Amino acid sequence: MSSLDILNQVDRNFQHALETVYKYIHKTPMEHSKTLSEMVGGEIYLKCENLQKTGSFKVRGAITKISQLKDRVGGVVAVSAGNHAQGVAYAASLYNMESIIIMPRNASISKIEATKNYGGEVILVDAPFDEMFRRGYEIAKEKNYEFVHPFDDPAIIAGQGTLAWEILNELYDVDTIVVPIGGGGLISGISYIAKKLKPEIKIIGVESESAPKAYKSLKEGRLVDVEIKPTLADGLAAKKLGEVTYEFIQKYVDDVITVSEKAIAQGIYFILERNKLIVEGAGATTVATIFDGIRELFRNRKTVLLLSGGNIDLTHIYRILLKGLSEAGRLVTLEGYALDVPGTLNKITGVIADNGGNIVDVYHDRMDIYSPPGYTLLRIIVEVPSSDAVKNIKDGLNKSGVWMTHS
Ligand SMILES: Cc1ncc(COP(=O)(O)O)c(C=O)c1O
């Protein structure tokens, strides 16, 4: 198919998307962030697609595609680590179609369960993505179902493009939209539609350093296959862009940047604490740019950071919260040796309480072979109101007569 044919197909599908998706999905809110705006010296808005039906934008493309298949096939097949899976299962259920979703065995538990709840038949597979795609196409052929590609399809790209239409309808004077890149369907749709509606707009793509396929492909001027490292942004963990999405990114995306895993965790934590919103790693990469020090790009400009999804396992959130609180100095671990006599714990917890500390966890090991004679190992995790409180607690413990700080 020529590039012109693909653009024509996206245009046709985009009209169909606008007429179809809003029967089933939300126009998601856009929030101004005062703190992020001050941090960059510009105006920062957050587009809350984490609050979309199924928890991510993926449902836009899935409905656009599947609504056109309903009279042709009885079911659809998809391969996905999560959000595309949920989008496809939900969209198929709207048209009373079967959906078979192949997911990696290590996919996030919340995403597997949600896909089943939307009516998807989930097949868990221990195999590389290439092999999962091969199985997906095979099953589709056997059952005479349609295989729904997660990104390299004009209907999917057009559906994701409705986000650009929505953003520009609400904030036409936006200068820049920042968009996460997985296989590239989301940014292809957003950049193509946004530039049609406002040619001077800038579109910036973001990837995790752990899966920098668009960054490397643009740098090397060819479609590059990257090795994926463990990442909080599981939604962006594609090895390679699509043939179609690579072309869109080359033509319509102004720049692609990468962010660290630490900044992604900081982004999740920040949005949770300040905006009371749950955002998954992929969706937080746009905010992570600011924590990685990329601020010049946004100075004196109006920027929309897309929060593309909110489907994150609670165990991940728990760990990120603990890490974030500890980096912010609001959670401290006190480790030392406590005198092994009755009443010691009472004295220690008294010092903590007197200084406003709230105990989160206590680890007490009387069998620790490295403890000095007559002492036991004690590790206490405490939530503290301020750094002064930490100092006062430590001083109080050292003076209590029952505590010896771990050297
Ligand atoms: C939350 C989230 N954000 C962004 C993306 C990237 O989308 P695309 O693969 O179309 O680039 C995905 C992909 O699954 C996702 O789940």
Which domains does the chain show, CATH number per domain? 3-57+153-322 (3.40.50.1100), 58-147 (3.40.50.1100), 329-405 (3.30.70.260)
> What digits encode the pLDDT tens for the residues 74-118?
999 999 988 999 999 999 999 999 999 999 998 888 889 999 999
- How far is Cα 294 from Cα 207, in angstroms, rounded to an integer? 13
Phi-psi region of 144 (alpha: psi -120 to 50; beta: other; left: phi over 0): left
- How far is Cα 378 from Cα 337, in angstroms, rounded to an integer? 6
Atom of ligand 1 nearest to the CA of 80: 14
> Which residue has the least CA distance to atom 1 on ligand 1?
309
Structure tokens at 309: 């999804």
Averages of pLDDT over each 10 residues, the chain, 407 residues? 88 97 98 97 98 98 96 94 95 97 90 95 93 96 97 98 98 98 98 98 98 98 95 93 98 97 93 94 97 92 98 87 82 94 95 95 90 94 91 95 85
In 84-175, which ranges are E strands?
A: 98-104, 121-125, 146-147
pLDDT at position 318 is 87
For a ligand 1 pocket test, name from 83, 162, 232 the mutation site with the most ligand atoms within 8 angstroms of its C-beta: 83
pLDDT at position 326 is 82
- How far is Cα 216 from Cα 189, in angstroms, rounded to an integer? 21
Burial of 25 (0-12, 13-18, 19+ CB in 10 A): buried
Contact criterion met (CB below 8 Å) for 14 and 161: yes
For a ligand 1 pocket test, name from 236, 239, 277 the mutation site with the most ligand atoms within 8 angstroms of its C-beta: 236
Atom of ligand 1 nearest to the CA of 234: 16
Contact criterion met (CB below 8 Å) for 377 and 364: yes
Contact criterion met (CB below 8 Å) for 339 and 366: no
CA of 231 to the centre of ligand 1 (A): 14
pLDDT at position 293 is 87
pLDDT at position 49 is 98
Angstrom CA distances, 223 to 212, 243, 247, stand at 12, 8, 10
> Which residue has the least CA distance to atom 10 on ligand 1?
185
pLDDT at position 366 is 87
CA of 197 to the centre of ligand 1 (A): 23
- Return the percent helix, strand and coil in the chain, to nearest 5: 50, 20, 30
Atom of ligand 1 nearest to the CA of 309: 1
> What digits encode the pLDDT tens for the residues 138-182?
999 999 999 999 999 999 999 999 999 999 999 999 999 999 999
CA of 331 to the centre of ligand 1 (A): 33
CA of 56 to the centre of ligand 1 (A): 8
Catalytic residues: 58, 308
CA of 187 to the centre of ligand 1 (A): 9
Atom of ligand 1 nearest to the CA of 187: 11
Ligand 1 site residues, Cβ closer than 6 angstroms = 56, 83-84, 150-151, 180-187, 235-236, 280, 282-283, 308-309
